[in-house]
Structure 1
């Protein structure tokens, strides 16, 4: 990156990411600062990160995704930050666009980036993922994650918002059990979020919300066009909704 231009901090939060982290760190060749905030991984993640002299490792207990991301923000030296997950990859075109945008006189405060969802080694074209976009690049002096959202984080932006042209490649699905575990954990975190807000798990919602999610993504969002891959993703996303209500009922019952 141009030494006279805007500096960029790349932030990564990890937990047991030995499968992905080495390739990602080798690929971030344009950052002025790289920080990995690890939630005390029990695999080889830490040793792999420590093998990179240009990467700063900080271990911090995981409470929820929002807290961990805001903690990472506080560690960054630079105003411009790029959040990237261990299972995401940047194309050369996206890297170039990022550098151009943060050095533009008309830079927005935050940028959405669209993602290409990879099912193992092939692209998923539909199933709700065709419009998947997320805040990844922003000026941290104008942005903060909403503390009321503990999963599927919401970025509060004080300023203008724009969208980058090029996309992230998202290798989220490596195996059925791995993705099911992710969806299970997301469901638990979402249940805790709703419990704190005092939301009750009505029986009809518990029965019909997972079914609605499955049918909406499979039919309305054209998941059937992705074949067996689409059916699997739609089912597992609906499974996460089911876990959300199941865990919420447990939380409410334990309080009584």
Structure 2
């Protein structure tokens, strides 16, 4: 069986719990598998190398390009097509089959949007949120946008919650399975950091607008919605029938609603602090000329 003419890039930082499943799902199916590691201090690198992946070290210099764009610029540039998967993701067998059909002939688009099969608290969710990632792209025709968010907390070396810009895009049917084997507290740890970044954007409207334009259509619509925690819960649990996933569906809808509440609370805190600084500055006596 011939390998798909694609390099798989797996950005990692301490993914020892998950990396074996990620690498094992792609080795032998793709032309190259490269783990791009940011100084992991667990067994991520050792496990990836043992399973046959190449490992490339990455150190962020604090500017752009960030990690994924750096991969497009530097990792196996002899192969135009790159598939990004996280350390806790793996392509489904159905996706591998779909990709073999697509790449059996010339490809006429620059990128593909791929749905996520999302797992939460140990259960595969069949309803609720539909998450789509622009994860497969021709590096010669795609690029992650450069935004003015380097002072924002929460994301660091990784690009934020926005999509790479592509000349043309097609949606695939089959999913990447997203199953994090770490304890659920790590989900809350990550989303606490993500909410710092999202709240910073709310306080910097010019950068927020840049980010909105680089999001999916669903993300752009939700960006404008009022009462986001309530809308988030109603959309996922009721409209998208998350209740059919049982307790896991309820837990995930509540967790995402809590994430939106965090963003709103941190934004209001930031606005209050900004107003306080402005008031103190206005009260300071002006020097005489």
Q: Is the 8 A contact 1:39 1:62 kept in 2?
A: no
Shift in CA distance, 122/63, structure 1 to aligned 2, threshold 3 Å: farther
Give the deviation of 1:80 after TM superposition.
Answer: 0.5
Q: Within the alignment, does 1:152 sit opposite 2:161 as a pair?
A: yes
Q: TM-score, normalised by structure 1?
A: 0.81
Q: Within the alignment, does 1:216 sit opposite 2:224 as a pair?
A: no
Per-residue CA shift, 1:14-71, capped at 9, x if unaligned? 1221111122212212222222222322322233234355413222238699822111
Shift in CA distance, 21/98, structure 1 to aligned 2, threshold 3 Å: same
Shift in CA distance, 117/53, structure 1 to aligned 2, threshold 3 Å: closer
Match of 2:25 in 1: 27
Whichever of the two has the greater Rg, that structure is: 2
Shift in CA distance, 62/114, structure 1 to aligned 2, threshold 3 Å: farther
Q: Name the CA distance, whole Å, in 2 between partners of 1:117 and 1:196.
A: 31
Indicate the RMSD between aligned Cα atoms, in angstroms. 3.1
Match of 1:190 in 2: 198
Q: Is the 8 A contact 2:121 2:184 kept in 1?
A: no
Per-residue CA shift, 1:70-102, capped at 9, x if unaligned? 111112312111111111112333223224323
Match of 2:123 in 1: 122
Q: Is the 8 A contact 1:50 1:57 kept in 2?
A: no
Match of 1:42 in 2: 41
Give the deviation of 1:173 after TM superposition.
Answer: 7.0
Give SS of 1:117's match.
strand
Per-residue CA shift, 1:181-207, capped at 9, x if unaligned? 22212212222333343589xxxx9x9
Q: Within the alignment, does 1:171 sit opposite 2:172 as a pair?
A: no
Q: TM-score, normalised by structure 2?
A: 0.73
Give SS of 2:227's match.
helix
Q: How does 1:1-256 map to 2 (within 5 A)?
A: 2=2, 7-28=5-26, 29-61=28-60, 67-76=66-75, 77=77, 78-129=79-130, 132-148=131-147, 150-158=159-167, 160-172=168-180, 175-197=183-205, 208-252=227-271, 253=273, 256=277
Shift in CA distance, 166/223, structure 1 to aligned 2, threshold 3 Å: closer
Shift in CA distance, 85/54, structure 1 to aligned 2, threshold 3 Å: closer
Q: Name the CA distance, whole Å, in 1 between partners of 2:270 and 2:62.
A: 17
Q: Is the 8 A contact 2:39 2:57 kept in 1?
A: no
Structure 2 residue runs of 5 or longer lacking an equivalent are 150-158, 209-223, 278-289
Q: Name the CA distance, whole Å, in 1 between partners of 2:95 and 2:107.
A: 18
Shift in CA distance, 199/109, structure 1 to aligned 2, threshold 3 Å: closer
Alignment coverage as a number of residue pairs: 246
Shift in CA distance, 196/52, structure 1 to aligned 2, threshold 3 Å: farther
Q: Name the CA distance, whole Å, in 2 between partners of 1:155 and 1:73.
A: 11
Q: Name the CA distance, whole Å, in 1 between partners of 2:244 and 2:25.
A: 32
Q: Name the CA distance, whole Å, in 1 between partners of 2:190 and 2:115.
A: 21
Q: Name the CA distance, whole Å, in 2 between partners of 1:176 and 1:64.
A: 31
